Structure 1
Amino acid sequence: MQILSIQSAVAYGHVGNSAAVFPLQRIGVDVLPVYTVNFSNHTGYGAWRGPMISPDDVRDVITGIAERGVLGQIDAVLSGYQGDTGIADVILEAVAQVKAANPAAVYACDPVMGNAESGCFVAPAIPDLLREKVVPAADIITPNQFELGYLTGTEPDTLESTLAAADAVRALGPRTVLVTSVERPDRPADTIEMLAVDDAGAWIVRTPLLPLKANGSGDVTAALFTAHYVQGRDAAAALARTVSSVFDLLERTHASGQRELQLVAAQESYAHPRMQFEVAQVR
């Protein structure tokens, strides 16, 4: 499997492609990473150095890949945080080129906008751009519960309202939706859930809620779910493998006492997930 991953990159730590590429490689995926920024570290530190890469330069890199004649070998295009409004057009152009070369290829979009604790943390134009232009072109999206609410103009909190919001966003275009950070008022204390919905049904899985903020964990989640889903077209199996891997990554990170994801140390969790959580069909 080959995935063209168009995301940010950092030298120190693990977000964007610097979080997604290694786990994908560890499960046997050949990744073509294209960078949208090349920063010293993620912006959560409040200070960083390095350039944002212009949309024209990102486009030029993708053109160079196309000139190698390999677009037909790509199985999926993956995108995450979009720092510049012009990047959306570049990504959609790349998706169109890849699908023209390989009609079976899919586009997986992580519509990064914010979360329930922080609210929106992207440029003001990005959320509307994602909702109106990017998400309708996607086959797979991986929003958290907060982002799902923004995309649908709802406030999902119960299982029923979250499923309804997933159906509403699927009506926009993407057939497969992974909802992360699902928090229902009736869930057991100190737990969190993840929900996957596609044409075959809907499945949910619950894990302990670990007391840490882990920048980049959503990027790992989107990457692993995309690869597992594209490989087997089985949402329940992709959900089970992804949740197992990501939980063990987060648990190892928490135990380390470090701020950055212990991405390399947790590598066996990607290659050989423990499958320790039950996935329940809810529809």
Structure 2
Amino acid sequence: MKILSIQSAVAYGHVGNSAAVFPLQRIGVEVLPVYTVNFSNHTGYGAWRGPLISPDDVREVIRGIEDRGVFGEIDVVLSGYQGGEGIGDVILDAVARVKAANPSAVYACDPVMGNARSGCFVAPAIPILLRERVVPAADIITPNQFELGFLTGTEPDSIESTLASVDAVRATGPRTVLVTSVERPDAEEGTIEMLVVDDTGAWIVQTPRLPMKANGSGDVTAALFTAHYRRTGDAADALARTTSSVFDLLQTTLDSGSRELKLVESQEAYAHPRMQFTVRQVR
């Protein structure tokens, strides 16, 4: 499997491609990383150095890959944090070119905007761009519950309302939706859930909620789920494998006391997930 991954990159720590590439490689995926920013560290520190990469420069890198004649071998285009406003057009152009070369290729979009605790942390034009142009072109999307609400103009806060919001966003284009953080008042205390819906059904998985904030964990989740799902076509299995791997990554990080993901130290969790959580069909 080959994935063209168009995301941010940092030198210190693990977010964007700096979070997604190694876990994908560890499960046997060939990754072609294209950077949208090249920062010293993620912006959660409040200070960072390095450039946003211009849309023209990102486009040139992608065109250079196309010149090598490999677009026909690419199975997935994966995108995450987009940086500047013009990157969306570059990504959509890349998706169209890859699909022209390989009609079986899919586009997986992690519509990064923000979260319920921090609100939006991207440029004001990005959420609108994602909702109106990028998400409708995607085959797979991996929003958190906050992002799902923005995409659909809803406030999902239960399994039923989250499923209704997923149905609304699926009607705009993407057939497979992974909601990476389902929070609801009636859930068991100290837990959090993930939900996936595709044409064959809907499944949810519950894990303990770990007392930490882990920048980059969503990027790992989107990457692993996309790869597993593309490989097998089984949404429930992809959800179970991804949940197992990401939980153990987070537990290892928490136990270490590190602010940054222990990405390398957790590599066995990607290659050989323990499958310790039960996936339940809800529709």
TM-score (norm 2): 1.00
Aligned to 2:91: 91
The corresponding residue for 1:130 is: 130
1:6-62 superposed Cα distances (whole Å, 9 cap, x missing partner): 000000000000000000000000000000111110011111111111000000000
Alignment of 1:11-30 (within 5 A): 11-30=11-30
SS at match of 1:61: helix
In the other structure, the counterpart of 1:227 is: 227
CA–CA distance in structure 2, aligned partners of residues 202 and 64 of structure 1 = 39
Residue of structure 2 equivalent to 1:100: 100
Q: Distance in 1 between matches of 2:119 and 2:51?
A: 25
SS in 2 for 1:280: strand
Aligned position for 2:240: 240
2: CA distance between counterparts of 1:253 and 1:170? 34
**CA drift at 1:220:** 0.2
What is the distance in 1 between the residues matched to 2:258 and 2:164? 38
Partner of 2:266: 266
Write the deviation string for residues 124-148 of structure 1: whole angstroms up to 9, x where unpaired. Answer: 1111100000000000000000100
Instruction: Show structure 1 runs of 4+ deviating over 6 A.
Output: none
Shift of 1:181: 1.1
Match of 1:158 in 2: 158
Aligned pairs (5 A) from 1:195-234? 195-234=195-234
Q: If the length of structure 1 is used for normalisation, what is the TM-score?
A: 1.00
Deviations 1:55-99 (A, max 9, x none): 000000000000000000000000001111100000000000000
The sequence identity of aligned pairs, in percent, is 82
How well do the aligned residues superpose, as a CA RMSD in angstroms? Answer: 0.4
Match of 1:72 in 2: 72
Q: State the match for 1:8 in structure 2.
A: 8
Which letter maps to 1:9? A
Partner of 2:141: 141
Give SS of 1:247's match: helix
Distance (whole Å) between structure 2 residues aligned to residue 81 and residue 58 of structure 1: 13
